[in-house]
Amino acid sequence: MLGFRVKAAMVCAVVLLPLTASQVMAADPPQHLGEGVLVPGRTATDVGMSGARVVVSNPVYETSNNGTTWTASGGSNVGKPLQVEGPALLTFDGTTAKVGGLTFPAADEVVLGKGGKLVSHRAPAAATAEVYDVASKAKLADVAQPFAMSGDTVWKVTEPGHLDGKNLTTGVVKTVLVASACTVGPDDVNGRWAVLSGCNQVVDVNGPQPPRNLTVAADAQLGNGFTVQTSGSDLLVTDLNDPALGQRRYGPIRTTAPSFRADGSGLAKIVYADATSKPRVITLSWLTADPQQHPDSVAPVLTSASAGDRIRDNTSLSFEWAYEDPQDPNSPATGVDSYDLRIQQRPNRTSPYGAWNQVPAWQGLKTTGASLSAPIGTDTCWQVRARDYAGNVSAWSTSYCSEVDGTAPSLVTWRIGDRVQLSGSATVRWAYKDDTDITSYDVVYKVAAPGAALGKWIYPAVWQNTRITGVTWSPRLGWDECFMVRARDYLGNVSAWSAPICSVAPEDDRALTSAGTVTRSTSTLAFQGTTTILKANGAYLTKATEAGLRIALVAIHGPGQGRVDIYHANIKIGTVSLAAATTSRTVTYLPATPFRTGILKIVSTSTAPAGVDGIAFLRAP
């Protein structure tokens, strides 16, 4: 049964803006348009304006009828620039800074945001500033320096190349990609434009205009669609709406302690103090019209997708994805609206994939994740596409596949030590690998007593569905012991039984009957500490009934040692020479034969002594 689960998408608008080449100014100097319109009735130390409201200091007076009447606003701004933004005016009365109904210590840093909706306050040496809503007087956030405020949005470079604007009313964050060296400070964002330092970029935070390079003076101010700065005895105005960054000059201005401010209401106006300290207003009627956004024509782009592990240890499969609707330099992003999903499956690794299946319930999805259950061994491939609110549809993504493990574990380690076991302890060990993971093992064994063939396989209960990876036991003399193992994974895929592996402990020389010139002896080299020395040609050791398909002789080899012939069931199996340069205990494997049962006989065929330590009969290879 097909089913899907919901994963909500995070809303975050991202504007991708490619960096253009540096703008080249025309060779001709900017046109000089003369003085602004006089606002009579007062002289000014400092000036500010917002719409029809013109404010001068010191003391602070304002007029809204082009100087016909002036009204005292109260307070002063000694040593502080006038800040008039939207309906808000920041003044200073003694040791107190005032804006709306908010008050702050005058010695602190107090900045009105563009548009007058926000104000920030930072005590000397403080790492963060408090940001307040001017109208409600409510504290909205603590923000680390540096940052800019425009409207109800705080703009900050959160990491190199990322200019983030957080709307403190809605909480929505918008990211604009800028040059990595860019920084932003107070008054650096106004409306759609940001003039960034460190990289000398002018960035359209709304789109559709691409960034431009513009170097501004330290006293430059950002208006809505323009910058203004001093240039000798004039003001130099740059049109940000113009891709060529056209410029005009105005003046003369007061060159000693110049004062000028862009219109705080967002109009294309500037107020400045002329050479006689009288306020004048410039209307920038020549500015290029605000750029108009073009229709969204760019389809969403896949930013991430995952179907989880390529091989899954359960039958529940899931697919998750994320898309971004990119901001084209000439069109805004409308945002991702919905998704279509399709799958393609094959039942096992040797079968071809079937046709793509566009499940009706997965078309026009508003979620970013889906899931289904698939049979063991099934490989499922997912593809997704997205459409934005303008109807632009992306191509199908590449395939993201996940297979429900249908392959049994495979054996990588299977060992038991020597085929003929001469120590008092023996261990069989195993290890498997799997596409997912091993959950348990089954272990079986069978044995052969001296003189007997191997019996049936035995299935100890504690060795079935076990997690152990080895068995240790104490070998019994003359007994051949064999093991097999198999493994299963979490989905129940079970391997075939391994090939049997066996280990036999030899029978000691004392278990054999002697005839002829024979001496029973001891040796620290011997298997059980004893040996039997055949001292004459024809001397022998024998045992009535032995069974097996291969014989291994344990003997003391060394200088001056003789040789022996070995017979089984009256058939000569081979000759073993015990002569060697150094003395050692040695196991010699005779050729394999058909399985047979009969008398064992070890006969000396020389006059040199032959030291026999033990004999082993292998019932299996």
Residue 45, both tokens = 């130390």
Q: Please, which pLDDT band fits residue 11 given cuts at 50, 70 and 90?
A: very low
- For the domain bounded by 295-404, which CATH number is listed? 2.60.40.10
At 331 the pLDDT is 65
Provide CB contacts within 8 A for 249, sequence distance 6+.
29, 30, 31, 32, 33, 231, 234, 235, 236, 237
Per-residue pLDDT at 202 exceeds 60: yes
**Residue 291 pLDDT level (bands cut at 50, 70, 90):** confident
Residue-wise pLDDT for 104-156, tens only, equals: 998 899 999 999 999 999 999 899 999 999 999 999 999 999 999 999 999 99
Residue with tokens 């079970």: 494
Is the Cα dihedral 175, 178, 181, 182 positive or negative?
negative
Cis peptide before 252 (omega within 30 of 0): yes
Average pLDDT over residues 472-476: 96
Indicate if the pLDDT at residue 185 is higher than 70: yes
pLDDT per position as a tens digit, 475-489: 999 999 999 999 999
Q: pLDDT by residue (tens digit) across 521-566?
A: 999 999 999 999 999 999 999 999 999 999 999 999 999 999 999 9
The neighbouring-strand residues paired with 130 are 121, 142
Q: Is 576:603 a contact under the CB 8 Å cutoff?
A: no
Q: pLDDT grade, residue 74 (50/70/90)?
A: confident
- Concatenated DSSP letters for 76-102? B-TTS--EEETTEEEEEETTEEEETTE
**Res 608 pLDDT > 80:** yes
User: Do 476 and 508 touch, CB atoms closer than 8 A?
Assistant: no
Residues 14-37 have pLDDT tens digits of: 333 333 333 334 457 899 999 999
**In CATH terms, are 295-404 and 410-504 the same topology?**
yes
pLDDT of res. 407:
92
**Residue 289, pLDDT score:** 86
Pick the CATH number of 507-618 from 3.30.450.20, 2.60.120.260, 3.40.50.1110, 2.40.50.100: 2.60.120.260
Q: What is the pLDDT of residue 26?
A: 41
In Å, how far are 171, 248, 559, 561, 612 from 535, measured between CA atoms? 103, 125, 15, 10, 11
Report domain extents, the chain. Answer: 25-283, 295-404, 410-504, 507-618
| Mean pLDDT, all residues of the chain | 91
Q: Alpha-carbon distance 205 to 221, whole Å?
A: 17
Prediction pTM value: 0.51
- What local confidence, expressed as pLDDT, does residue 208 receive? 65
Q: pLDDT tens across 486-531, in order?
A: 999 989 999 999 999 999 999 999 999 999 999 999 999 999 999 9
E-strand ranges in 468-595 read: 470-473, 480-489, 501-504, 507-508, 513-515, 518-522, 530-534, 540-548, 550-557, 563-568, 571-577, 584-589
CATH superfamily of 25-283: YVTN repeat-like/Quinoprotein amine dehydrogenase (2.130.10.10)
pLDDT digits (tens, 9 = 90+) for 227-282: 999 999 999 999 998 988 999 999 999 999 999 999 999 999 999 999 999 999 99
Both tokens of 604, joined, read: 């000396």
Residue 100 or residue 384, greater confidence: 384
213 vs 441, more confident: 441
Cα 402 to its chain centre, rounded Å, is 19
Q: What is the pLDDT of residue 22?
A: 36
pLDDT (tens digit, 9 = 90+) per residue, 410-449? 999 999 999 999 999 999 999 999 988 999 999 999 999 9
pLDDT tier, 80 (very low <50, low <70, confident <90, very high otherwise): confident
Q: What is the pLDDT of residues 349-378, one digit of tens each?
A: 999 999 999 999 999 999 999 999 999 999
Tell me how many degrees the CA angle 407-353-307 measures, rounded to the nearest 5: 70
Buried b (16+ CB within 10 A) or exposed e, 292-309: eeeebebbbebeebebee
Residue 293: pLDDT band (50, 70, 90) is low
Percent of the chain with pLDDT over 90: 80
Q: Is pLDDT of 79 > 90?
A: no
| pLDDT surpassing 80 at residue 5 | no
Residue % of the chain over a pLDDT of 70: 94
Instruction: Say yes or no to pLDDT of 4 above 60.
Output: no
79 exposure class (CB count in 10 Å sphere: 0-12, 13-18, 19+): exposed
Class of domain 410-504: mainly beta
